[in-house]
Each structure stands twice: as C-alpha cells, then as structure tokens.
C-alpha cells in the first residue's frame, strides 16, 4: 500500500470519463484521493462532486458560473478558481501525484504541458493532445521523467501487454475498432444519416464528440496517431482491424510473430483504474467476462473508402509535421457543425481533406506553430462549413 493515497487531479470531472473516474476512486478509498476537480460549465454536477469528494481546489472554467460555484462551496475548505488559465495553475500544485486529462479536444494540450513541466504523471484520456503535438509531448515527458499512462481502452490494452517485454521490440500493433453504428454501410446509405443515429454507439457509452468520431472512424484515426507516439512506432507499424464485439481491446505483435492481447467487457472503468493504479492491479468487483456469452468474435478490414476519415488520418500521420494538428482542428470544427446540423455526415471528411490540402505544411513545428496551425485551421474549417 502507498504511504498516502495517490492524489489525483481530474481535468474534466463532469464528462463521461471524469464521472467514471470518480466512481473508480470512490470504490478504492485506501488508494486514491481527489485533490482537484475541474469542469467547463456543468456547475451543478461539479458542486455535487466537490461536496462528496472534498478536493482542495475546484475550477469552473466558464467565468459566468464562478459566483454560483464559489457560493455553494464557501462553507467547505475548497478554493474555487475560474477561467481557462486556472487549469494551467491547478496542475502545478505540489500535492498532486497524477493528472487525469479527461477534457475533450485541443484544449487539453496546454494544461497537459504545464502538468508535465511540473513533474506530474499523466493519465491521458485526452487523445487529441498526442494527435496535435505528440512529438513535443513525448520529448517533454522524457525530459521531466513523467509517465504518460494511457486511458484510451485500446492503448491501455497494449500498455498492459508490455510489462516483461522491455527488451523485445514491437513488430506491430493492431488497434481494434468496433466499427461504430454505421459498420457495413456504404456511402449512399450515409448521405442523410442524422445526428441521433450517429450518437447511438453499439458498445460504448461516451461523450458526444468521441461518439461522432467513432461513427466516422475518425476516433480510430486519432488513436492510430496517439499509438504511434505513445509506443514510439513508425506509422507502418500501426494497423486497424474491425472487431464488432469490442472484447479484444487491442493486440501487440512481437518479432517472433507472437501476439499478445488484452480482453474484457467494454467498460472504461478498467482502463481508468489501470492508469491510476499502475503498475499495481487493484481488486475490483467489475463484471467479469464470460466466453460463453460471446461464442463468436469477428474481424474485418476497415472500409476506408466509405469512412474516409481513417485514411485521412493515416495520410496526415504519413506527412507528419503539423498535419495531424490540422486533421484534429478541422475535425473538431466539422463535428461541432455536424452536431449543430450545419454539415452532413459525409461532408465532415470533405472539410478535413480541404484543410489538409490548404494549410501550409511545417515540418518541425514549435509549440507556437502548433497554436497558429490550430487557429488557422479552425478559421478555414469554419469558412468551409459555412458554404
Ligand atoms: Mg478508444
């Protein structure tokens, strides 16, 4: 047992991963305590969570909601902060052992960098951070000797296959994809699909952005890029296979041809727990997998002609430089506009492809150049969505 429970900061505590992380933490009070909670605008849930978990610091980034949160927590020994900049400050608090980055999108990048620079381990749920600036993040993590512990189920699976293999190079990794709600559909069947249809994921319950990304296979594209950086691979060493049941969470192939996989029911609580408890495995009462409930596990090639986002992601990774950053920013705008019914499902790929073609290439971007690339791409993507 630790000398003290591991002290955790959760960025994005009111989202899907944040709330599940708090369930995990509540079930392991000897091992974990909550030091910081942050939310963008869900003040009511943040207040409830704070009353229950008693963090030392709370951030509500939306400034208009600050008085409400401040007032609700004033009797408790909790400091309340507001504004985006506050995220960069709270991750530096000396008492924090690990930062769970459960915010969605590009906004996770700056607080993650601040946390790494202050020596905090990262439980990485915000995959966009590595998509946008993987090279920079991994170099910083090495420099500051912090662990980047994956929360994404596929990357957690691979990470769980690696202990004991330190001297053995990876030949390739195979990321499994559920295929999402539109698996097996062709382009003409996807022309008019609605937001409600895209939001119905067959296996996983997740936030809106990642659910749309799963339906378009962009989520898998982002994960390919995330995996490249996390595991130090070449683009050609990352493969995707569609596995509709989401039981095999991903596989590693070593140079002797042996494959290792991690299996389990689709439940994010397990990868969240492993990232927080690593290298230890803690006892849980999570539902156990039964092979007899799944007499068939199936595998198929991803359909990249229909789901062009996946091939766009491979292309962006191949070009490298600032192109994955462009891919991500264009996708964030396209998904937001799809959720507002302003662009159609298949048009999201057109917006992204256009941005990849038009934004100037930078081979080795600095942090500032990533920031510029992101802003420029968002402007262009908004323009393209407005047509
Ligand atoms: Mg995943």
**Do 22 and 12 touch, CB atoms closer than 8 A?**
no
Please calculate the CA angle 102-244-320 and round it to the nearest 5 degrees: 55
Same structural domain, 108 and 181 = no
Q: Considering the domain boundaries, does residue 293 fall inside one?
A: no
E strands within the chain? Answer: 6-11, 32-39, 57-60, 79-82, 98-101, 121-124, 148-150, 170-177, 238-242, 248-254, 259-263
Strand partners, 248: 263
Ligand 1 center to 386 CA (angstroms): 30
Looking at residue 387, its pLDDT comes to 63
Query: What range does the domain containing 178 cover?
Result: 168-266+302-319
pLDDT on residue 268 = 96
Q: Which residue has the tokens 């910083």?
A: 140
54 and 195 co-located in one domain: no
Which structure tokens are listed for 137?
A: 């993040």
Is the link from the previous residue into 360 a cis peptide, with omega within 30 of 0?
Answer: no
Q: How far does residue 266's CA lie from ligand 1's centre (Å)? A: 10
Distance 65 CA to ligand 1 centre (A): 32
Whether 132 and 68 share a structural domain: yes
Q: Give the three-state DSSP class for 241.
A: strand
Q: Same domain, yes or no, for 129 and 15?
A: yes
* Distance of alpha carbon 177 from alpha carbon 175, whole angstroms: 7
* 154 Cα–ligand 1 center, Å: 5
Mean pLDDT by runs of 10 across the 387 residues of the chain is 84 97 97 98 98 98 98 97 97 97 95 98 97 96 98 98 98 97 96 93 85 96 98 97 98 98 97 98 97 97 97 97 98 96 97 98 97 98 91
The total number of structural domains in the chain stands at: 2
Residues 15 and 59 in one domain: yes
Q: Return the CATH number at 110.
A: 3.40.50.720
Rounded Cα distance, 206 and 204, in Å: 6
Residues 111 and 209 in one domain: no
Clarify whether residues 121 and 236 are in a common domain.
Answer: no
């Amino acid at each position: 047992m630790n000398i003290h429970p591991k002290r955790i900061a959760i960025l994005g505590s009111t989202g899907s991963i944040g709330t599940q992380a708090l369930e995990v933490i509540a079930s392991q009070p000897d091992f974990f305590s909550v030091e910081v909670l942050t939310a963008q605008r869900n003040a009511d849930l943040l207040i409830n969570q704070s009353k229950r978990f008693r963090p030392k610091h709370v951030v509500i980034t939306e400034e208009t909601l600050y008085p409400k949160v401040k007032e609700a927590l004033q009797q408790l020994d909790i400091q309340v902060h507001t504004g985006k900049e506050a995220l960069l400050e709270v991750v530096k608090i000396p008492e924090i052992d690990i930062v769970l980055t459960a915010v969605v999108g590009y906004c996770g990048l700056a607080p993650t960098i601040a946390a790494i620079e202050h020596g905090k381990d990262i439980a990485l749920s915000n995959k966009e951070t590595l998509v946008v600036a993987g090279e920079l993040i991994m170099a910083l993590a090495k420099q500051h000797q912090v662990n980047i512990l994956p929360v994404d189920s596929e990357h957690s699976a691979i990470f769980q296959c690696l202990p004991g293999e330190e001297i053995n190079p990876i030949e390739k990794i195979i990321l499994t994809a559920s295929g999402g709600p539109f698996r097996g559909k062709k382009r003409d069947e996807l022309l008019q699909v609605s937001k409600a249809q895209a939001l119905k994921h067959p296996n996983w319950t997740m936030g809106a952005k990642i659910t749309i990304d799963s339906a378009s296979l962009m989520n898998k594209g982002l994960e390919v890029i995330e995996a490249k950086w996390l595991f130090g691979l070449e683009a050609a060493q990352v493969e995707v296979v569609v596995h509709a049941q989401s039981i095999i969470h991903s596989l590693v192939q070593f140079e002797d041809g042996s494959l290792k996989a991690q299996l389990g029911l689709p439940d994010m609580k397990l990868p969240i727990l492993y990232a927080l408890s690593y290298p230890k495995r803690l006892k849980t009462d999570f539902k156990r997998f039964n092979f007899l409930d799944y007499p068939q596990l199936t595998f198929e090639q991803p359909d990249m002609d229909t789901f062009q986002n996946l091939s766009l992601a491979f292309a962006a990774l191949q070009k490298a430089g600032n192109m994955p950053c462009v891919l991500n920013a264009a996708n964030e705008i396209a998904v937001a506009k799809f959720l507002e019914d302003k662009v159609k499902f298949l048009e999201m790929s057109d917006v992204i492809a256009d941005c990849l073609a038009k934004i100037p290439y930078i081979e080795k971007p600095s942090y500032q150049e990533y920031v510029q690339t992101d802003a420029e791409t968002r402007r262009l993507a908004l323009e393209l969505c407005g047509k």
